[in-house]
Structure 1
Amino acid sequence: MKGSILRLRATKLSLILITLVCTMFLLWGWDKAPFLVSLIPQSQSLRLSPDTFIGSPMNAVSPEPKKDADNLPNSATNEASDKPEGYDKKSNGEDGENFKEKVWDASVPVDSANTSSVFTKKEKGNIPYQVKKQTCDYAKGNWVADDNRPFYSGGRCLQWLSEMWACRLTDRTDFAFEKFRWQPRDCEMEEFSGKKFLRRMRNKTLAFIGDSLGRQQYQSLMCMVSGGKLRHDVIDVGWEYGLVKARGALRPDGWAHRFTRTNTTILFYWSACLCDLQPVNPSDKNSEVAMNLDRPPAFLRRYLDRFNVIVLNTGHHWNRGKFDGNHWVMHVGGVPNLNKNVAEAKNFTIHSIVKWVDSQLPQHPKLRAVYRSLSPRHFFNGDWNSGGTCDNTNPLSKGKEVLKEESGDPAAAMAVKGTKVKYLDITALSELRDEGHMSRYTIKPRQATGQDCLHWCLPGIPDAWNEILYGQLSALGRF
């Protein structure tokens, strides 16, 4: 019996010694023998190629326009024919002030201009869980019929909406164009909510800076946030930004309004060329005006510290007709520019303003900057001054889907590349919606025969731009 026990103990001891020896051999081999390591599958590493910024914007240009195609007549809907709106009206409405405050509540900040993480949370028992995380290219997708559109009534949102863009007040009778939403290909955008927008923008300011298409986007957002309802809690704060009507002027240089319950300010500043304009001879009212292509607008420099979101755009004033009518003379480095090519000057300016804004972002960590691409024109069978029309009323007659990789506005896409300025690429998706323009419709009969195939009916296509903007800002996380 004793012998059996001793043999069993000896066997166990041998096994332990063998195990220790094998372990030591493996550890030594792991350190010395590369072939052991090669047995483990290797993970692939991501290789990121640094984006390059064009050294001289003048190297990437478009051909000089053959005619002043965008110089709309005052008798149509040129910006100079606008009447000032009664923005000092007061209103009421709910903005969700009783909810616990949240700022842009995506949990992961995203650096890419056209990507975002989309999170859908559902309840499983009592535990919320994440069910979707996708990248989102907002520029790709398709238009989808949606009876929940529009977000507001074009006949009632007159507190913010210019009458000349409220197609419900015109002699137009078809409004099928209002019943579509943009659906990105790779993700579900968060549904726009005016209440949620105001909660997330509590104590913040969003500024649109650009031309009349920027003004349309501003008016669209004001109507979307308010639901097109009269709001007595919204006050005119234009005076805080010097946006008051000067003596003899048709309108102020912009508008600013504040939703007092959340202290949210939304404003628009008129800067058709996104560069600094200064009279060459300030004492002469007929003086030429220096377009300083390499300087941002003075308004933007002065108030940048007060902004949390800026949305920039330019494009349709870069033609000889506008230059001559406004007495604009191109300057670079404080002196007249010898290169008179308008298209090259536009591209140079877009690169210049984007580069300047990008340089300011490190000093303004709570600022988000967005550059919006060019809004397309749809003049058929001529131009604005040669019988061009946009009479189509059939939605999506040009197609409903955008799948191409390149942007419809290559100059803008190239300018934002390699910067932290986000890109709101709306050109291609808007190109499909030629039925959404003001066209020949007006409130009062006019003698002019020209059609407006540049500006959009509201509600309309600019609402989709703001939905995408809302999605992009939500994806950027806290700021």
Structure 2
Amino acid sequence: MADTKRLPLADGFPVLSELGFILRAPWRTGLFAYGFMFALVALTVFLLFSPSSDSSSPLLSGMVTSSSTADTYRSQLSSFFSFFFPNSSPSTATASASPPLPPSPNLSSPPSSYLSPRSENVSQPLVAKNHTPPPDLPSFPGRNHTIATTQPQAPNQTRNSSDPSTPSPPAKNDTVKAVESVPADNGILSNYTASLLKKHSNNNKTINTNSTVTVPVTGSTQEKVKDWAESLKKCDFFDGQWVKDDSYPLYKPGSCSLIDEQFNCVLNGRPDTDYHKLRWKPKDCDLPRLNGSDMLEMLRGKRLVFVGDSLNRNMWESLVCILRSSAKDQNNVYEVNGRQQFRGEASYSFIFRDYNCTVEFFVSPFLVREWEVPDKDGLKKETLRLDLVGQSCDQYKGADIIVFNTGHWWTHDKTSKGKDYYQEGSHVYGELNVLEAFRKALTTWARWVDANINPVKSLVFFRGYSETHFSGGQWNSGGQCDHEMQPIRNDTYLRQYPPKMVVLERVMKGMRTPVTYLNITRMTDYRKDGHPSIYRKRTPTAAERRSPLMFQDCSHWCLPGVPDAWNEILYAELLVKLNQKGQQGQPQQEKRPQ
């Protein structure tokens, strides 16, 4: 053993001396020492030759990658501190740091700290959170999804996100906003058309489905936009059928406090709901679903005016509710005089302050002036001046869009019989056929339109006759429709086209001013299920309680309901006309001499 102690050292380590010490120790202690040494060597080899990029000990990683830059080292330290202090951030930044590379098309960028949730392996379009879709093109009825076409984004384009290295996925209810600029209109188009014609210059298209997808614009997409406009242009909006669509109505029943009690069938206790779930489908095209946000942009700085009887009030209230539900701030939508009921006054006007536009209604059930003359006993007698337009005409003649109607009041006893009622100048007709009186009245209206409305500034519409569905009587003689729960499906049960509307068409053909005829007569004839019937009041009178079925409204329409479809047609007509103006304006600009 003495010889062993005198052996020389091996590389400065007394190997044999240590070996002798171990051999003299109990065998269990030696076994433990060998095991400990083996485990230490194995752990060291593993850490040196198999470092993990996700390791929580970046200091060991730094031992291996000794050639890394100072920036990488600072990044490792940042990750190290973020593991223990996730809310802390580096106090300084390197001015010369390179901009982050764009994310891989197949992989999301790694999380910024080790405590952040793991990113999924899904690429997302670039979005700005809490944005609504730009008013570029109308939504189409489909399966409630939205496809927005945008120009592909360059890799070095700025992102609208708090983290520049990671694209932010849209929230569950967010929509994708196109990241591109709008080409200038070069002064070719009027202010009225500019907002909607940007849809075509942007080459954007929006369609309803269950998800939001971003598609790059290609030549084929541009052609589809043109084809869509042409398909609407050639489509007869009024030849079609009612189809069930569970995505309707356009606003939640009972949600619009602006609906008159007369039309608010849900709050008046109507139990069935199928009449809400029908939309009008023309045979040759799909009507664009009325997008309230788009239409408000269309109306920005404009006046839209309805003129006529209570059926136009029905349509007006429908549109006010649709637009109000889409307004940025509903507190900025109000009737100019603070009115909450819309019967009994000569006119009403809703202001959409955020859009600087108004949607108005002027009461003029005949479009010509109601008058009074003294009778033989010195009392006043009501007449209808067939030679004078309604008294309020000067208040709306400068509006940007005007929708006229008349019809229902011409069926009342006084007008239909025509005895001592119609007047021209100082002459009161002892008797005049109602169709002739109607022709005279519309001729007076047409001459006023030609003389007072500027067709370059204003678009003029005339909405046709809305059919009634009284059974067993008329509006004042016990007519009923409360048992009707489904629309007419067989065309043989439809009525003949009203003779008054034939007169209207002849008058409009002789006008200089273009008037678009909203011929809703046939489409309303199908809808015997859509009237308020007995659900026209919350608190019926004593007589109505005694005989509730004797007092029914089978003329007007529940809201939401049929008038919403009229407004969708109005929306489609406006889009077609704006597209036509855009196509007419551009060639004129090109033909100007240089």
Pairwise same-fold verdict (TM > 0.5): yes
Native 8 Å contact 2:470 2:481 kept in 1: yes
Deviation of 1:177 after TM superposition, in Å, equals 0.5
Deviation of 1:475 after TM superposition, in Å, equals 1.1
Opposite residue 404 of structure 2, the aligned amino acid is L
1:216/1:404 Cα in 2 relative to 1: closer, same or farther (>3 Å)? closer
Q: Given the alignment, which residue of 226, 229, 241 partners 1:142?
A: 241
Deviation of 1:225 after TM superposition, in Å, equals 1.0
Partner of 1:468: 569
* Structure 2 counterpart SS, 1:346: helix
CA distance in 1, matches of 2:496, 2:216: 38
Deviation of 1:426 after TM superposition, in Å, equals 0.4
Deviation of 1:330 after TM superposition, in Å, equals 1.8
Q: Given the alignment, which residue of 244, 251, 257 partners 2:344?
A: 251
Native 8 Å contact 1:244 1:253 kept in 2: no
CA distance in 2, matches of 1:411, 1:154: 37
Equivalent residues in 2 for 1:64-213 (5 A)?
103=194, 105=196, 125-127=217-219, 128-131=221-224, 132=227, 133-134=230-231, 135-158=234-257, 160-213=258-311
* Structure 1 counterpart SS, 2:253: coil
Native 8 Å contact 2:420 2:428 kept in 1: no
Q: Which has the larger radius of gyration?
A: 2
Partner of 2:360: 267
Q: Given the alignment, which residue of 434, 446, 465 partners 1:374?
A: 465
Equivalent residues in 2 for 1:353-372 (5 A)?
353-361=445-453, 363-372=454-463
Partner of 1:422: 516
CA distance in 2, matches of 1:342, 1:423: 22
Q: Given the alignment, which residue of 450, 453, 457 partners 2:554?
A: 453
1:314 matches 2:412: no
1:219/1:412 Cα in 2 relative to 1: closer, same or farther (>3 Å)? same
1:401/1:180 Cα in 2 relative to 1: closer, same or farther (>3 Å)? farther
Deviation track 1:192-214 (CA, whole Å, cap 9, x = no partner) reads 11110110111100111111101
Opposite residue 444 of structure 1, the aligned amino acid is T
CA distance in 2, matches of 1:444, 1:238: 26
CA distance in 2, matches of 1:400, 1:179: 21
Deviation of 1:126 after TM superposition, in Å, equals 4.5
CA distance in 2, matches of 1:473, 1:155: 28
Deviation of 1:137 after TM superposition, in Å, equals 0.9
Native 8 Å contact 1:151 1:227 kept in 2: no
Q: Report which of the two has the higher share of helix.
A: 2
Native 8 Å contact 1:379 1:389 kept in 2: yes
CA distance in 1, matches of 2:508, 2:242: 26
Query: Identical aligned pairs, as a percentage?
Result: 31
Native 8 Å contact 2:487 2:527 kept in 1: yes
* Structure 2 counterpart SS, 1:310: strand
Opposite residue 317 of structure 1, the aligned amino acid is W
**TM-score normalized by the length of structure 2:** 0.55
1:393/1:106 Cα in 2 relative to 1: closer, same or farther (>3 Å)? farther
* Structure 2 counterpart SS, 1:143: strand
* Structure 2 counterpart SS, 1:390: coil
Q: Given the alignment, which residue of 443, 459, 479 partners 2:538?
A: 443
CA distance in 2, matches of 1:388, 1:403: 18
Opposite residue 345 of structure 2, the aligned amino acid is P
CA distance in 2, matches of 1:206, 1:445: 34
Native 8 Å contact 1:416 1:422 kept in 2: no
Opposite residue 353 of structure 1, the aligned amino acid is W
Deviation of 1:253 after TM superposition, in Å, equals 1.1
* Structure 2 counterpart SS, 1:456: coil
Equivalent residues in 2 for 1:43-54 (5 A)?
none
Opposite residue 329 of structure 1, the aligned amino acid is Y
Native 8 Å contact 1:378 1:434 kept in 2: yes
Opposite residue 561 of structure 2, the aligned amino acid is G
CA distance in 2, matches of 1:152, 1:328: 46
Partner of 1:297: 390
Native 8 Å contact 1:371 1:422 kept in 2: yes
Deviation track 1:117-147 (CA, whole Å, cap 9, x = no partner) reads xx99996655541222220111111111111
Native 8 Å contact 1:152 1:228 kept in 2: no
Deviation of 1:476 after TM superposition, in Å, equals 1.1
Partner of 1:233: 332
Deviation of 1:407 after TM superposition, in Å, equals 7.9
Native 8 Å contact 1:104 1:474 kept in 2: no
Paired residues, number: 366
Deviation of 1:459 after TM superposition, in Å, equals 0.6
CA distance in 1, matches of 2:236, 2:532: 29
CA distance in 2, matches of 1:328, 1:222: 39
* Structure 2 counterpart SS, 1:468: helix
1:427/1:474 Cα in 2 relative to 1: closer, same or farther (>3 Å)? same
Native 8 Å contact 2:414 2:421 kept in 1: no
Deviation of 1:357 after TM superposition, in Å, equals 1.3
Native 8 Å contact 2:494 2:526 kept in 1: no
* Structure 2 counterpart SS, 1:476: helix
CA distance in 2, matches of 1:316, 1:258: 28
1:443/1:286 Cα in 2 relative to 1: closer, same or farther (>3 Å)? farther
Deviation track 1:220-274 (CA, whole Å, cap 9, x = no partner) reads 00011112888211133359xxx999xxx97321210110111110011111111
CA distance in 2, matches of 1:244, 1:440: 23
CA distance in 2, matches of 1:244, 1:395: 32
Native 8 Å contact 1:120 1:130 kept in 2: no
* Structure 2 counterpart SS, 1:295: strand
Deviation of 1:406 after TM superposition, in Å, equals 7.2
1:163/1:250 Cα in 2 relative to 1: closer, same or farther (>3 Å)? closer
Opposite residue 201 of structure 1, the aligned amino acid is L
Q: Given the alignment, which residue of 471, 480, 505 partners 1:413?
A: 505
**TM-score normalized by the length of structure 1:** 0.67
Partner of 1:390: 481
RMSD: 4.0
CA distance in 2, matches of 1:402, 1:464: 22
